[in-house]
């Protein structure tokens, strides 16, 4: 699985998952909005934000990182994700 190289898209999906603005997400992460803006500007993959979002919201990691598949995981999606993770 290759992640979306447009970091802005990933940040937007994080905003959707949390139902928050960039400022709201920055507050959750104890950071400033400019930190997130810098990641977008530098095209730096936001590993910590992605992992926190997955843990906090239960969002589908594939959707969050690529925009593919459904945002929420069904029971069968979860099983498939676990199998894929075990293979890698």
Is 57 in contact with 50 (CB distance < 8 Å)? no
> Which tens digits make up the pLDDT trace of 16-32?
999 999 999 999 989 99
Cα(39)–Cα(54) distance, rounded to whole angstroms? 19
pTM listed for this prediction: 0.79
**Domains along the chain with CATH numbers:** 7-87 (1.10.260.40)
Contacts of 39 (CB under 8 A, 6+ apart): 7, 11, 45, 46
> Which tens digits make up the pLDDT trace of 35-78?
999 999 999 999 999 999 999 999 999 999 999 988 887 665 55
Helix axes 33-42, 7-18, angle to 10 degrees: 150
Q: What angle do CA 9, 77, 73 make, to 5 degrees?
A: 55
């Amino acid at each position: 699985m290759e992640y979306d190289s447009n970091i802005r898209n990933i940040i937007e999906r994080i905003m959707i998952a949390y139902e928050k603005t960039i400022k709201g997400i920055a507050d959750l992460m104890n950071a400033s909005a400019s930190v997130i803006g810098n990641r977008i500007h530098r095209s730096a993959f936001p590993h910590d934000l992605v992992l926190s979002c997955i843990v906090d919201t239960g969002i589908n990691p594939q959707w969050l990182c690529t925009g593919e598949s459904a945002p929420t995981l069904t029971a069968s999606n979860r099983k498939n994700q676990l199998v894929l993770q075990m293979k890698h």
